[in-house]
Amino acid sequence: MSLLNEETRRKLRELNLGEMIDAIEQQSQDVGYSQLSFEDRMKLAVDYLYQKKYNSKVQRLIKQSKFRITNANYRDIYYLNRGLDQQKLLSLSTCQFIDSSSSVIFYGFAGSGKSYLACALGNQACMQGIRTRYIRTPDLLLMRDEATLTKQGVSKLLKKLSSYKVLILDEWLMDDFNEEEQHFILELIERRHDNTSTIFCTQYRKDDWHVRLGGGVHADAIMDRIVHNASWVYSGDINMREYYAKLNQLNLYD
């Protein structure tokens, strides 16, 4: 027998508390709940409501983040004989670097799993309710080019990108920046500096950055706002694309 009449159901739905209806209905169908006090039953219903709301929020944040690898998970990171700093990665998974507005730089050769590590860390941020956004640097520059076609378009784009507590820039420094792109990148980094956290994925070590950024004062300014307050994480000695390709081929014959 239902414990809620239609009017109460309607009010709960208007309050966006449809999950509370489900919780109460579940209790009404299980005689075991009748042995509990009202306070205990209410606590269980609220716990159910909270978990449902929390899960929905996390899934919404993950979807809005547009991760390249949506199912990247810290639990699935491959460590064996890879040369990863597991302790550093586990420390980053707590997301305390976000509280201090620090950056994270995953560096290593192509195929070593930088994007996976960054997306896994981004998922950790989403699970803590933190707005995150993943963008390939070439796509970022295309967004900038499109923004120049409208009045205040670049300013609006910079404002939007600066609003994310965590921004993942993949394929960082893969291509050279022209002067306008340098200025845009500097402005973006400046706006995010000391207020947010940026995760970079790059094939280049710190010693190569200045040249890749075009040299000169823009390169100096960009590096000064990134490298001094960043965790550098080597992505390992194994080509993970090759590793999983071979693994999948072996599985075909299992």
What is the pLDDT, as a whole number, of residue 54? 76
- 149 and 184 inside one domain: yes
Q: Look up the CATH number of the domain holding residue 123.
A: 3.40.50.300
- 124-157: pLDDT as tens digits: 999 999 999 999 999 999 999 999 999 999 999 9
What is the pLDDT, as a whole number, of residue 181? 95
Q: Which amino acid does the sequence have at 202? A: T
Strand partners, 132: 166
Is residue 1 in some structural domain? no
Which of 119, 142, 143, 144 lies closest to 132 in space, CA to CA? 119
Q: Which two tokens stand for residue 58?
A: 């996390």
Q: Which amino acid does the sequence have at 59? A: Q
Is residue 250 in some structural domain? no
Is residue 253 in some structural domain? no
- 72-86: pLDDT as tens digits: 999 899 999 999 999
Q: Residues 135, 110, 79, CA angle at the centre, nearest 5°?
A: 95
Q: Read off φ and ψ for residue 222, nearest 5 degrees.
A: -65, -50
- 219 and 134 inside one domain: yes
What total of structural domains would you count in the chain?
Answer: 2
Is residue 213 in some structural domain? yes
Integer Cα distance of 231 and 206 in angstroms:
12
Is residue 82 in some structural domain? yes
Residue span of the structural domain in which 54 resides? 6-63
- 144 and 28 inside one domain: no
In this structure, are residues 130 and 97 in contact, taking their beta carbons and an 8 Å threshold?
no
